[in-house]
Amino acid sequence: AQSVTQLGSHVSVSEGALVLLRCNYSSSVPPYLFWYVQYPNQGLQLLLKYTTGATLVKGINGFEAEFKKSETSFHLTKPSAHMSDAAEYFCAVRSNRDDKIIFGKGTRLHILP
């Protein structure tokens, strides 16, 4: 069965600094990977996704993620944090074996002025 591990339930970065949110997955078949963002009292919004092809994926709001099969990782980055990036971020994995979409426990990103 597939699973997702997000390292760090809370991450704090200064405004303008690099954002790095970590995600490792476990899947017995080629995975499809997603990052979602959730702002307070809202639903989840897709940031980006990896399906096949290019391993560096660009998403909305300046975020990108790199799929590394050898490390079973899909870390999310943004070169320069903005106050508006404060939110909770979820990594998710989907396989073509059973179509379940499994989420990690989430990382809350805090932006320091």
Partner 1 sequence: DAGITQSPRHKVTETGTPVTLRCHQTENHRYMYWYRQDPGHGLRLIHYSYGVKDTDKGEVSDGYSVSRSKTEDFLLTLESATSSQTSVYFCAISEETVNTEAFFGQGTRLTVV
Nearer to partner 1, 41 or 83 (CB): 41
35: its two tokens = 């990052």
Query: Can you name the residues that pair with 5 across neighbouring β-strands?
Result: 24
20 scored as a contact of partner 1 (CB under 8 A): no
Binding partner 1 by CB under 8 A: which of 90, 93, 109, 111? 90
Nearer to partner 1, 73 or 95 (CB): 95
Instruction: Please state the closest distance from residue 14 (CB atom) to partner 1, in A.
Output: 25
Query: Residue 7 or 102: which CB sits closer to partner 1?
Result: 102
Number of residues that bind partner 1 (CB under 8 A): 27
Two structure tokens written together for 32: 């499809």
**Closest C-alpha among 54, 58, 41, 50 to residue 4:** 50
Burial class of residue 76 in the structure, from the number of CB atoms within 10 Å of its CB (0-12 exposed, 13-18 middle, 19+ buried): buried
Could you tell me where the DSSP H helices lie in the chain?
A: none
Q: CA–CA separation, 59 vs 74, rounded Å?
A: 13
Rounded to the nearest whole angstrom, what is the least distance from the CB of residue 23 to partner 1 in the complex? 12
Residues forming the site for partner 1 (CB under 8 A):
6, 9, 32, 34, 36, 42-46, 49, 51-52, 90, 92, 94-96, 98-106
